[in-house]
Amino acid sequence: MKLLLDTHILLWAAGDPGRLTPEARNLLGDPATELLFSTASIWEVVIKKTLGRKDFQIDPRQFRDGLIQHGYSELAIRSEHTLAVGFLPPIHKDPFDRMLIAQAQVENITLLTMDNKLSGYSDPVKVV
């Protein structure tokens, strides 16, 4: 199974795994699961760190490098993903989350999140 991880799940997996649900920890620890992160998540960390958000106080370069070192694959943003954002219903307003949804839909992979708002998109979202 391929999982695209929402930014907060990535942050918690990297720095505060106790915040993850047992289900999320099991999925992340399953060797049969291919874990992906989006370029959009790195962009989100950079933007929100610059804005002084306390929940984004991590060095973005070290964060990205650590994800790669731990076997995560990076999913780059392609124009196909960007175009798909325009077809999403306005369930969620956050542009980073909307990009993650679009990427998951285009790539036919599951977005793993703890954000209940994203459940309105149903497939391909799994809320843990």
Q: Which among 43, 123, 111 is positioned nearest to 77, based on CA atoms?
A: 43
Q: One digit per residue, pLDDT tens: the chain, 128 residues? A: 999 999 999 999 988 899 999 999 999 999 999 999 999 999 999 999 999 998 888 899 999 999 999 999 999 999 999 999 999 998 988 999 999 999 999 999 999 999 998 888 877 899 99
- How far, in Å, CA of 123 to CA of 111, rounded? 9
By residue count, the chain amounts to: 128
Whole-number pLDDT of residue 123: 76
User: CB–CB of 114/24 below 8 Å?
Assistant: yes
Task: Give, for 111, the enclosing helix (H) or strand (E).
Answer: strand 110-113
- How far, in Å, CA of 60 to CA of 47, rounded? 10
Residue type, 120: G
Whole-number pLDDT of residue 80: 98
**DSSP secondary structure, 81-108, as one string:** HHHHHTTS-TT---HHHHHHHHHHHHHT
CA Rg value for the chain: 14
